[in-house]
């Protein structure tokens, strides 16, 4: 096996940071393929904490090549700031170990302004965007008026494209009662940072193809989760990109046959940030317990996460949508001490039992979870590194989840520490 794709199987925040770090230490190349600086991974290495939003997790490890693929939308100012922050912690970052796809689209100040304006305009039914310009940037990309990294090389073309873009966006800004933006100011600002950004720019797909030919291990690092996918998630309460495994190909320029193993990162319960449907949400003391024990606050937004029971219907759907070969089950230790644990095994919709998550926004809001109750455990699972270190009931819980989602547990995480992991099957070994 020469490549592994990491995919969140729920609504994001599944604990990908630790697993990605564990796998990136074994990879030669780590590549981001979708999203922007609205996602975040927290890594702790040798006592140092790194909060990454755009940079692939491999950047903190010597000898690894990190690539930001064409499927990512990049705020150039945020990227340069993140590079400086990580460098300040002693990490070397140069064109030798960081490559930015020249055909990736750039997030500009107008995108952030529009993002916030549109969220405010939604009134009592916000989508829950991070207001970082991700959605409007993807809109411009699809509308073919976006600015790409390679455009920074050609000032005359860049100025022309900015003027065309702002003829459209200034009408929107005016409609929202906001001040129009001078494309000349944006041009000057971009030109000021263009040399630094272009230092890292290159042909990402070609570099990845060469790595594949050389038999190097490639880790495709996903952000967010399957249920936030623009096509397959809880639309419209989703992100603006595809988050399923197929995007690892489209977002990097590698053929689909390059991805040999798909690992779904899966939390032992369920969380969600922001608005949108959440069938197994708990608003009682148990929900508070899960949030408190799991320290459920967003890495990027700091927002408190909503918590609920494990939803096997949703995870099974994610397994099938991405063709997951196995899952990495995280935060099992958060369930320690509960007398009983519930698992959603099906939904009830208008009096009928269904075994999938429906596409309709109306149906998603009406589905009710059908639970199965299993016995909890009082012993601690924290820090366990073997099956023998787990309580019998915890092992039964994990095995039952495997049956329900129709996928094996390849890795089991029992604490935030990277070595507190039970490895069943190394994804790089197949």
The residues annotated with a catalytic role in the active site are: 13, 41
- For the record, the structure tokens of 366 come out as 């009406």
> How far apart (Å, rounded) are the C-alpha atoms in residues 418 and 430?
21
Contact 269, 307 (CB under 8 A): yes
Radius of gyration of the chain (CA): 22
In 3D space, the residue among 295, 203, 219 whose CA is nearest the CA of residue 253 turns out to be 203
208 phi and psi angles, rounded to 5 deg:
-70, -40
Residue 129: alpha-carbon gap to chain centroid: 14
Q: Please name every residue paired with 225 in a beta bridge, in sequence order, or none if there are none.
A: none
Contact 407, 326 (CB under 8 A): yes
In 3D space, the residue among 373, 372, 316, 368 whose CA is nearest the CA of residue 347 turns out to be 368
Residues 222, 225, 227, CA angle at the centre, nearest 5°?
145
**Class of residue 339 by CB neighbours under 10 A (exposed 0-12, middle 13-18, buried 19+):** exposed
State the CB neighbour count (10 A cutoff) for residue 292: 11
């Amino acid at each position: 096996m020469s490549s592994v794709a990491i995919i969140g199987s729920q609504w994001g925040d599944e604990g990908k940071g630790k697993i990605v770090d564990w796998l990136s230490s074994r990879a030669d190349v780590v590549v981001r393929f979708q999203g922007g600086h609205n996602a975040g991974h927290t890594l702790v290495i040798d006592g140092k904490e790194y909060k990454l939003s755009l940079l692939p997790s491999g950047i903190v490890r010597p000898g690894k090549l990190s690539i930001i693929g064409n499927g990512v939308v990049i705020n150039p100012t945020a990227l340069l700031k993140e590079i400086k922050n990580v460098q300040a912690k002693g990490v070397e970052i140069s064109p030798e170990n960081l490559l930015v796809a020249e055909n990736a689209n750039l997030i500009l100040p107008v995108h952030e302004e529009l993002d916030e304006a549109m969220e405010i305009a939604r009134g009592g039914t916000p989508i829950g965007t991070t207001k970082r310009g991700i959605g409007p940037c993807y809109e411009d990309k699809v509308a073919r008026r976006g600015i790409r990294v390679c455009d920074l090389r050609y000032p005359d073309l860049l100025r022309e494209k900015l003027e065309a873009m702002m003829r459209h966006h200034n009408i929107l800004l005016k409609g929202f009662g906001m001040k129009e933006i001078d494309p000349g100011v944006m041009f000057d600002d971009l030109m000021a940072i263009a040399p630094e950004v272009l230092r890292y720019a290159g042909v990402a797909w070609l570099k990845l193809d060469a790595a594949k030919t050389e038999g190097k291990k490639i880790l495709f690092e996903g952000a967010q989760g399957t249920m936030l996918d623009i096509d397959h998630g809880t639309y419209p309460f989703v992100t603006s990109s595809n988050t399923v495994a197929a995007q690892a190909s489209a977002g990097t320029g590698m053929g689909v046959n390059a991805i040999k193993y798909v690992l779904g990162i899966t939390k032992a319960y369920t969380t969600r940030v922001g608005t949108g449907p959440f069938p197994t949400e708990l608003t009682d003391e148990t929900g508070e317990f899960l949030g408190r024990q799991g320290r459920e606050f967003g890495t990027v937004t700091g927002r408190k996460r909503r918590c609920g029971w494990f939803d096997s219907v949703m995870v099974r759907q994610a397994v099938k949508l991405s063709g997951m070969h196995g899952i990495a089950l995280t935060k099992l230790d958060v369930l320690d001490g509960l007398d009983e644990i519930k698992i959603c095994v099906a939904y009830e919709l208008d009096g009928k039992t269904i075994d999938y998550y429906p596409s309709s926004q109306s149906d998603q809001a009406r589905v009710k979870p059908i639970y199965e109750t299993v016995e909890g455990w009082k012993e601690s699972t924290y820090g366990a590194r073997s099956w023998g270190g787990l309580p019998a009931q915890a092992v039964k819980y994990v095995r039952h989840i495997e049956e329900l989602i129709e996928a094996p547990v390849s890795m089991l995480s029992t604490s935030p520490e990277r070595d507190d992991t039970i490895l069943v099957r190394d994804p790089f070994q197949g």
